[in-house]
Amino acid sequence: MQAITKHTAQLTKADQLETLKSIIQNSLRKNSKRTYQNALKNFADWCRRNGCSEINTTNVLLYLADLSKSYKINTIKTYFSAVKQLAKEQGVNLDMDKIKRFFKGLNNTIQTTNKGAKALDYDYLKQVIKQIDTSTIKGKRDKAILLLGWFGAFRRSELANLDYADLTETPKGFNVFIRHSKTDKENKGFYKAIPYNLKDKNLCPVLALKDYISSAGIKDGALFRTIKKGGKVTQNRISDNDIYRLIKRIAPDFSAHSLRVGFITSASEKGANPQMIMKQTGHKTVQMIAHYTRSNDVWQSNAVSLFTD
């Protein structure tokens, strides 16, 4: 009788461990699935732009080389894992020796050349915006992306994933809801405050965004979209790579991350404390704040007001 009781207890404990394991795996599976889907979409977009009609070692290497212009090596490896799985499902054998040599060479290159994104500060932002021809719908879109990206300290993936429904207009500007972000591991989402720029209307992210939305006739779906020759706005969402290329075209010495770094640097120089900056960037690191609190009022004590009030 005692042996049966002991055995039952062991089974109960094993069942509990199995349940715990299942719960953890379900969490990982959800995040992994989203990453996998995003990676495959990125590859599909690249293939469409480059006329790639099949998966083979050459095309994959060209894709990885293109990613290396704007992504960190760990992200590139993650994207490759999804493409590798897709190739396996389609019965395609990739030359892993060549791909391993690519990553080894890429790692050596990054170690010698990676110095981090250069900050695009507020004064230089003025110069960049002046270069944009806002008489065209493409110019209106590009201006809105740059100003929203800078004042919102956005990652390019956050900008690319915005929907029209993520915007809530307030007397002060827009509350912009970020549904998915690198630092939001639980995918709860959070808001960024995008204010009217009372000091300089030409550098106002709200007015630029309204002008673009009105001119493009956007009432739902993706916020920032691809635009064909002749100014026809499509239903297709722009990619984060599109944003990278946009900024390199207008400001060759900078990258998409320069907008985010530029806001942080400029805000610091104006005396903003880390907590104020964190409210806009969404960072959650031990080095910058000991405790991070989500506030329903994204406007109170926010670094973005230093540039617009």
The one-character DSSP state at 117 is: P
CATH number at residue 56: 1.10.150
Residues 183 and 235 in one domain: yes
Tally of domains in the chain: 2
Q: Are residues 154 and 295 in the same domain?
A: yes
Tell me: do 293 and 206 sit in the same domain. yes
Residue that finishes a domain, picked among 113, 144, 163: 113
Q: Are 188 and 119 in contact (CB under 8 A)?
A: no
The CATH number linked to 296 is 1.10.443.10
pTM attached to this predicted model: 0.61
Looking at the structure, do residues 60 and 167 belong to the same domain, yes or no? no
> Where is the domain boundary, 69, 96, 113?
113
**10 and 44 belong to one structural domain:** yes
Per-position b or e across 204-220, b if 16+ CB within 10 A of its CB? bbbbbbbbbbebbebee
Same domain? 82 vs 182: no
Same domain, 153 and 70: no
| Residues 219 and 300 grouped into a single domain | yes
Strands of 197-288 (E only): list them: 225-227, 233-237
Q: Which residues contact 235 (CB under 8 A, 6 or more apart)?
A: 221, 222, 225
**Domain end among 113, 143, 173:** 113
Name the 3-class secondary structure at 150.
helix
**Which two structure tokens, joined as six digits, stand for 87?**
């190739």
Co-location of 37 and 166 in the same domain: no
Q: Hunting for tokens 């992200």 — which residue is that? A: 75
Same domain, 63 and 200: no
Nearest to 176 by CA among 186, 161, 187, 185: 161
Full domain range(s) for residue 202: 122-307
Q: How far is CA 4 from CA 9, 11, 13, 16, 119, in A?
A: 9, 11, 14, 18, 68
Residues 148 and 269 in one domain: yes
pLDDT digit of tens for each residue in the chain (309 aa)? 344 333 334 445 556 666 655 655 555 455 566 777 888 888 888 888 888 888 899 999 999 988 887 777 888 888 898 899 888 888 999 999 999 998 888 877 754 444 556 778 888 899 999 999 999 999 999 999 999 999 998 888 899 999 999 999 999 999 999 987 766 666 777 899 999 998 999 999 999 999 999 999 999 999 999 999 889 999 999 988 899 889 889 888 888 778 888 888 778 777 777 778 777 777 655 344 222 223 355 665 577 877 876
Pair 20, 27: CB distance under 8 Å: no
Residues 173 and 267 reside in one and the same domain: yes
Q: What DSSP character marks residue 287?
A: T
